[in-house]
């Protein structure tokens, strides 16, 4: 088997995206654990972390790395958890009786589900975490199926897209890795087509849920332009980036925490 430079670069980018996803999920990662999970040497992981630190995504420490924002890890984890929960709870108010909604693999939008009190709500999602939810009588949940991402528990690929092609939603709630005036981005390339398809198949309003750490962040893979977005729900204060997003026609709904 001949591995070309282009193929090799794709493998490297995919591995680093998985490392970023681990950092986003767990806030702190360790070289040896990543080495075993991604089936590469500790030296390769250390080089990847060095590059990610140079690009401003992580902060290294002996034996691992943490998210750049996490100067005080425990306090930041607690703060971020409260922010995500507050955004999710607020967003749930926009779900109305008889709505069919799209929810992607984001942790924030997933946390909306327990707060939904409207009647006869149908959720269509590629978020595998819904399997652990207690069933609610007012909500029906349909998983797209597809290829499972073990780290994020998201379902992607042609099978998932095929299901989405056959349905439509009255509202769409999406999370993202980052949002700027240029659109919403993700660290996982396989999720781009899923997010795009949800945007295309939504006949009503699209809501982006993003905490302040996502504002102004732009990752490698664009998964939606702002011309399809009705509202951004965030805890972020007014900034130049927020103003630029508003100029794109997006209603910014700021919640106080």
Where do the structural domains in the chain lie, given as residue ranges? 5-67, 76-254
**Calpha distance 21→14 (Å, rounded):** 10
Q: How many CB atoms lie within 10 A of CB 87?
A: 25
Biggest CA-to-CA distance, the chain: 56
The reported pLDDT for the residue numbered 7 is 56
Whole-number Å distance between alpha carbons of 200 and 220: 21
> For position 173, what pLDDT does the model report?
98
Task: Please calculate the CA angle 83-86-91 and round it to the nearest 5 degrees.
Answer: 125
pLDDT the model gives residue 222: 93
The CATH code belonging to domain 76-254 is 3.40.50.10470
Helix (H) or strand (E) holding 16: helix 5-26
Enumerate residue ranges in the chain where pLDDT < 70: 1-7, 69-77
Q: 175: closest CA among 202, 211, 139, 150? A: 211
Output the pLDDT for position 234: 97
Instruction: Quote the CA–CA distance of 18 and 68 in Å, as a whole number.
Output: 16
What class, spelled out in words, does domain 5-67 have in CATH? mainly alpha
The end-to-end CA distance of the chain, in Å, is 54
What confidence score (pLDDT) does residue 255 get? 94
pLDDT in the model for residue 59: 87
pLDDT for the residue numbered 223: 92
Cβ neighbours of residue 163 under 8 Å, at least 6 residues apart? 124, 144, 145, 146
Return the pLDDT at 162: 96
Phi and psi at residue 176, in whole multiples of 5°?
-155, 165
The pLDDT value given to residue 189: 86
- Residue 117 neighbours by CB distance under 10 Å: 13
């Amino acid at each position: 088997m001949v591995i070309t430079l282009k193929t090799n670069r794709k493998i490297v980018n995919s591995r680093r995206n998985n490392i970023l996803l681990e950092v986003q999920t767990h806030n702190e990662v360790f070289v040896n654990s990543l080495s075993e999970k991604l089936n590469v040497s500790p030296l390769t992981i250390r080089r990847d972390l060095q590059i990610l630190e140079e690009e401003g995504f992580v902060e290294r420490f002996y034996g691992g790395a943490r998210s750049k924002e996490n100067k005080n890890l425990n306090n930041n984890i607690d703060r971020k958890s409260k922010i995500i929960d507050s955004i999710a709870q607020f967003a749930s108010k926009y779900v109305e009786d008889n709505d069919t909604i799209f929810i992607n693999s984001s942790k924030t939008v997933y946390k909306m589900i327990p707060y939904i009190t409207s009647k006869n709500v149908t959720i269509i999602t590629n978020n595998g975490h819904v399997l652990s939810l207690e069933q609610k009588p007012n909500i029906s949940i349909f998983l797209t199926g597809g290829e499972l991402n073990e780290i994020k528990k998201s379902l992607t690929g042609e099978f998932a897209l095929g299901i989405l092609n056959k349905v439509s939603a009255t509202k769409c709630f999406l999370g993202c890795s980052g949002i700027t005036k240029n659109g919403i981005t993700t660290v996982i390339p396989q999720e781009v087509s899923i997010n795009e398809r949800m945007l295309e198949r939504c006949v009503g309003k699209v809501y982006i849920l993003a905490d302040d750490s996502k504002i102004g962040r732009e990752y490698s893979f664009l998964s939606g332009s702002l011309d399809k977005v009705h509202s951004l729900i965030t805890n972020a204060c007014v900034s130049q980036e927020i103003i630029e997003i508003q100029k794109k026609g997006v209603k910014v709904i700021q919640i106080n925490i």
